[in-house]
Structure 1
Amino acid sequence: MAYQALYRVWRPQTFSDVIGQDVITQTLRNAVASHMTSHAYLFSGPRGTGKTSCAKILAKAVNCLNPHDGEPCNECEICKAANENRLNDVIEIDAASNNGVEEIRDIRDKVKYAPTEAKFKVYIIDEVHMLSQGAFNALLKTLEEPPENVMFILATTEPQKIPATIISRTQSFNFRRISKQDILQRMEFILKDKQIDFDEEALNIIAASAEGGMRDALSILDQALSYGDDQLTLKNAQEVTGALSNEQITSYMQAIADNNPAEALTSLYQILASGRSALRFTEMIIRVCRNLILYNSDSDLSEKMDKSVMTKELLAIADKFDNARLFYIVDQVSATQKNLKNSNQTDIYMEILTVKISEPKVAQAQTQANLQEPSEAVDNEVIDKLRDEVSHLQNEVKNLATGEVKKPVVKKTHRRTKNNTRLNKTAIYKVLGSATKSDLMEARDIWPDLMSMLSITQRAMMKVADPVAASKDGIVVAFDYEMWFEQAQDDTEFLSELSNNAGRLLKKDCQIVLVPKADWPKIRKEYIDNNIDLNNQGKVESKQEPKKKTDPTVDEAVKLFGDDIVDIKND
């Protein structure tokens, strides 16, 4: 018999064989065991997560002659025929190539006929989002009220393209990306069964490259075994996936740490000459920077480092990078990644990136510009002019003072902390005003899928954040560490993308609001104590304290000096 790919040989044949989808498989198993299966299902999720496999298992289970607790026996004639793809009552249709109205009308005409061998006639329509609008309309009535003993199972990677009228007529199951640990365990099981020696680091690289897809992982594993003549070594996995070796990334980062652009470029040319992907290269730089930030920040955080990336050599140069420079490197690499996806001149962009991050003057200038006090950038002439203007304005306010209100007293300006200026309390209170436990549970359910939609850089940033409150219109996300909160809060483009992706998953408009976890209990208590609500203009006011009327004189003073430095004292 011809050789079969690993993902075909090891395709799950029972619900218990499906990896990483325990909630879905348990639900389907119980439905089959209790004879409470639906007439239509929708399986959605990323590629290679088990949608089609579960559809085939469900088709077998409902028709099996000797089911065991909702599982197909795989021994009766029906199961054997289904496993060999010769059961006429299980019809698989690829919607990508059969997406017209005529094909769906043909199905509609044939569903009226009873099954020939099995109890149920099962239609599995893969990539159903590829159907035309006319085809969806033709399917609609049949999907709503199919004849007895007919079941439809729709599978798709893009559920947002399916009309709501179709979704409402199905039981929907959202397949999630499979965790790296589950993929590793499955590959280890297969290799041990085949009695093949393997390197654990090689499996780590393959699992990371698969990005949550079991089929992709097994395909890469198959390729690595072929390349290494039925041996899995670290070198084989790196060659097949295009991943950098530890020596290559260490050499490059060492040159960056030593502020040596010439040596860094030499290392870059060697890496690109070895056939490594520029995009994979940038991803590795970000992963290293993320681990160095965790290592430099706190001893507890260092336990969350990726041990497969952080070698002793990289840890030895960790003290040469401070967090400000690591953030700068990540920003530059992220910007370069966008250019790499839209250009064929990857070498040029990588050269520019290498020079930028290996020249300390650039990073230092950036940091100093952010930290520089205003007084250092303004000459004495400007200061004197401002003093004269302030003195003149003070005299004007003194002349405007009435008997009831004394002149405003200029207090010492208290600079607000960075954290307070970044907090969007209005948006937080708006979420708290209509927050429910069910909304929070729904937000937590879609959180893994939301993270999977982010880039590696963004996922690293959000690794220490979780939803803590949610309403119909928004989600409050708390960060364990303030530095990550500040990084995310300052990136308006990222916040917008995060909110849009959450809205797509929840199928409604949704705003993501960020808060440091250390400040969250205080903000929540403040809201509860003051019974804060939102008025029609979206401004935060207290129900217990009505808005006080102000004097025109005071308004003028506030307008001139700002409410931070005006103190009103009554006689």
Structure 2
Amino acid sequence: MAYQALYRVYRPRTFDDMVGQDVITQTLKNAIETHQTGHAYLFSGPRGTGKTSAAKIFAREINGIAPETSDAQIPDIVEFDAASNSRVEDMRDILANVDYAPIESEYKVYIIDEVHMLSNSAFNALLKTLEEPPANVKFILATTEPQKVPVTILSRTQRFEFKRIDNLVIQAQLADILHQQSIGYEDDALRIIANVAEGGMRDALSILDQVIAFGTDKVTINNALQVTGSTTTTQLLAYIKAISLGDTPTSLQVLHDILREGKDAQRLVVDILGLLRDIMLVDVAPDLIKSTVPFDELKALVEDLAMPRIEAMMVILDDIQKQLMQTTQSDIYLELLTVKLSMASSLHSKQTVTPQKAGTNHSSTNVQLSEKHANEPEPVRVSPVEETATVKLDTEAEQVEATSNGSSTMSQNLSKHNDNHADDSLLARTGQEAVFAILTRAKREALSHLKSTWSTLIGQFDVAQQAFLTIAEPVAASDEGVVLAFDYPALLEQALYDSHLQNKLSAAFLAQKIPIEMVFISQDDWRQQRAAYVQELKSGVTRSIALTDLPRVKRQQTSEKSENTIDTHAAPAEAPVVTEAKKIFGDDIVTVID
């Protein structure tokens, strides 16, 4: 006899065989026993949760047909697939026999699967029959998308919502089937299969079939991981730990190791979400944790990440998950995801300057004076940092002289940068005036050329920088320079102070005959400043701003001693508000608490 898939062999034949839908099965059994069955039912819910199986069982039970009877031997139970027979003509062919009495049974039962696929005309044809059904006819409609079924149909049916089956229930059912098959298994392997099945028993049995075929002697964790494309706990932990430390290069390396093993991109995102969920619940609901990660490690991770960052990471993961469904470049999106997750700490970190006595409160930063200065006049209020993206600009000592347009100008400018600045010099500008300077001379062909070469251009960078630059978008260009807009303010600030990235970008621009002057800005600020520029044009205001007359970003100094020498490998620069506070009150008074 030909081999049958497990989900067909172990398809429930009675309500007692069904698992995970106890409320529905008990309700239907009671209705049959008390002869209080309705004329139309709607079974809705996720795939593989037992809708069609329950419909067939119900149809046999109300007619007193033995469970072992083959479906093909029951002429009074008619199955209709609306997905492949959605036309009104198909529905009319079925309904033409409604008025005929059952051949052998008490009731004629019509099971319409995927009913939401019917056309409007087919629904209208069905509606007339549902309004005045013959006494010996019953309809069971099954669908995964009840919201697509007209309300006129819904109001004439008894609705039963099938729920996703709990993972523990699925694991128990899989274990029982393997016992019957005399196949050994590892508990964690069944847990992996149940997680991937996402509450669908049919999916779980299909995956189990593949795992058995992959390794016939035993269902092991490794086989389950290979078949499902899931990621090992060790790899997930290494990835999340690198993310929690903000170690982007390490997290990217772990990602590439995972991808080299052929793991599925969508599955990886789901696995990361699942681990973050367990980290989130470790303190509030430890009984709901699903992963096999040691409890102590989960506790350590929740302390490293903190709830606000976990929430931000989950939002980023959800966004990437949607984008992965619409692209074939999954590796690039996963690299982008890794950079975003690593930078999530910057989006939520706050520095607090703690007072010792009197002082003033500035947003999330408190500046206080020591007791000996308590009677001094109230200090000047420090302007708060605009969100986390505001970058303070200082005027440079040297200005780059404007020269003629063209490639010769770019060569002269780059040579001048190399002569007058060390390798750690900052070349970028930012702010409204810099953006306006580009927009006043913007050329469509310059922007088109930049956009067409952007993917090739960033391909020259290393993996970490490539992933970083994917969140930057060229939005304006002229013969003088270009504007790059960054998705996140924190990433913008990192780019503004990354001299290595800027110098490499400048060289890449020169090689592609693109103006080497750069303006970095956040996407939100770009939209606002572009709108402001358009408004000025409409009102007749014109500006004559040369980009080379504007100052570049200067590296923030952490102390007076470092004004003349800057260590590019030093610890991250202080927030501007902290620097200002120290200038006003002195280093010995101001205390910084992260």
Q: Give the TM-score category using the shorter length.
A: 0.5 to 0.7
**1:11-410 correspondence runs (5 A):** 11-64=11-64, 73-74=66-67, 80=69, 83-295=70-282, 298=283, 301-310=285-294, 319-358=303-342, 363-364=345-346, 366-368=348-350, 373-374=362-363
CA shift, 1:315, in A, is 5.5
CA shift, 1:198, in A, is 0.7
Match of 1:432 in 2: none
CA shift, 1:261, in A, is 2.5
Residues 142, 195 of structure 1: alpha-carbon distance in 2 compared, 3 angstrom cutoff: same
Q: Is the 8 A contact 1:42 1:170 kept in 2?
A: yes
Matched residues in 2 for 1:375 and 1:90: separation? 69
Matched residues in 2 for 1:155 and 1:331: separation? 33
Q: Is the 8 A contact 1:328 1:363 kept in 2?
A: no
Matched residues in 2 for 1:4 and 1:194: separation? 13
Matched residues in 1 for 2:230 and 2:266: separation? 10
Q: Is the 8 A contact 2:279 2:301 kept in 1?
A: no
The code of the aligned residue for 1:189 comes to D
CA shift, 1:50, in A, is 0.9
Matched residues in 2 for 1:209 and 1:127: separation? 23
Residues 373, 242 of structure 1: alpha-carbon distance in 2 compared, 3 angstrom cutoff: farther
Residues 2, 313 of structure 1: alpha-carbon distance in 2 compared, 3 angstrom cutoff: same
Summarize deviations over 1:404-456 as a string: whole Å, max 9, x none: xxxxxxxxxxxxxxxxxxxxxxxxxxxxxxxxxxxxxxxxxxxxxxxxxxxxx
Q: Secondary structure at the match of 1:85?
A: helix
CA shift, 1:369, in A, is 7.5
Q: Secondary structure at the match of 1:114?
A: coil
Q: Is the 8 A contact 1:246 1:311 kept in 2?
A: no
Summarize deviations over 1:486-523 as a string: whole Å, max 9, x none: xxxxxxxxxxxxxxxxxxxxxxxxxxxxxxxxxxxxxx
Q: Is the 8 A contact 1:47 1:213 kept in 2?
A: yes
Q: Is the 8 A contact 1:104 1:139 kept in 2?
A: yes
Q: Secondary structure at the match of 2:349?
A: helix
Residues 307, 272 of structure 1: alpha-carbon distance in 2 compared, 3 angstrom cutoff: closer
Matched residues in 1 for 2:151 and 2:301: separation? 54
Q: Is the 8 A contact 1:250 1:314 kept in 2?
A: no
**1:504-515 correspondence runs (5 A):** none
**1:415-454 correspondence runs (5 A):** none
Matched residues in 2 for 1:317 and 1:37: separation? 54
Summarize deviations over 1:354-393 as a string: whole Å, max 9, x none: 234345xx62464228999339699966789xxxxxxxxx
The code of the aligned residue for 1:59 comes to A
Summarize deviations over 1:447-480 as a string: whole Å, max 9, x none: xxxxxxxxxxxxxxxxxxxxxxxxxxxxxxxxxx
Q: Secondary structure at the match of 1:110?
A: coil
Residues 44, 330 of structure 1: alpha-carbon distance in 2 compared, 3 angstrom cutoff: closer
Q: Is the 8 A contact 2:350 2:364 kept in 1?
A: no
Match of 2:487 in 1: none
Matched residues in 1 for 2:334 and 2:171: separation? 32
Matched residues in 2 for 1:262 and 1:188: separation? 41
**Deviates most, 364-373 or 304-313:** 364-373
Residues 168, 216 of structure 1: alpha-carbon distance in 2 compared, 3 angstrom cutoff: same
Matched residues in 2 for 1:252 and 1:209: separation? 20
The code of the aligned residue for 1:52 comes to T
Q: Secondary structure at the match of 1:368?
A: coil
Matched residues in 2 for 1:108 and 1:169: separation? 17
Match of 1:391 in 2: none
Q: Is the 8 A contact 1:119 1:149 kept in 2?
A: yes
Residues 312, 232 of structure 1: alpha-carbon distance in 2 compared, 3 angstrom cutoff: farther
CA shift, 1:317, in A, is 5.7
The number of residue pairs the alignment matches comes to 366
Match of 1:497 in 2: none
Q: RMSD between aligned alpha carbons?
A: 2.8
Identity within the alignment, %: 49
Q: Is the 8 A contact 1:43 1:153 kept in 2?
A: yes
Matched residues in 2 for 1:207 and 1:370: separation? 45
Q: Is the 8 A contact 1:177 1:213 kept in 2?
A: yes
Matched residues in 1 for 2:20 and 2:139: separation? 24
Matched residues in 2 for 1:168 and 1:370: separation? 59
* Gap runs ≥5 in structure 2: 354-360, 368-377, 384-594
CA shift, 1:218, in A, is 0.8
Summarize deviations over 1:42-89 as a string: whole Å, max 9, x none: 11111111111111111111222xxxxxxx543xxxx62xx2422111
- Report the TM-score, using the length of structure 1 for normalisation: 0.59
CA shift, 1:311, in A, is 6.8
CA shift, 1:226, in A, is 0.9
- Report the TM-score, using the length of structure 2 for normalisation: 0.57
Residues 139, 306 of structure 1: alpha-carbon distance in 2 compared, 3 angstrom cutoff: closer
CA shift, 1:120, in A, is 1.6
Residues 303, 208 of structure 1: alpha-carbon distance in 2 compared, 3 angstrom cutoff: same
Matched residues in 2 for 1:322 and 1:179: separation? 29
Matched residues in 2 for 1:375 and 1:156: separation? 51
Match of 2:422 in 1: none
CA shift, 1:135, in A, is 1.2
Matched residues in 1 for 2:87 and 2:340: separation? 53
Matched residues in 1 for 2:29 and 2:188: separation? 36
Residues 154, 342 of structure 1: alpha-carbon distance in 2 compared, 3 angstrom cutoff: same
**Deviates most, 333-342 or 196-205:** 333-342
Which structure has the greater CA radius of gyration?
Answer: 2
CA shift, 1:21, in A, is 1.3
The code of the aligned residue for 2:332 comes to I
Q: Secondary structure at the match of 1:117?
A: coil
CA shift, 1:168, in A, is 2.0
**As a proportion of its length, which structure holds more helix?**
1
Q: Is the 8 A contact 1:55 1:124 kept in 2?
A: yes
CA shift, 1:313, in A, is 5.7
* Gap runs ≥5 in structure 1: 65-71, 385-571
Residues 102, 337 of structure 1: alpha-carbon distance in 2 compared, 3 angstrom cutoff: closer
Matched residues in 2 for 1:176 and 1:304: separation? 18
Residues 335, 105 of structure 1: alpha-carbon distance in 2 compared, 3 angstrom cutoff: closer
**Deviates most, 8-17 or 174-183:** 174-183
Q: Is the 8 A contact 2:189 2:219 kept in 1?
A: yes
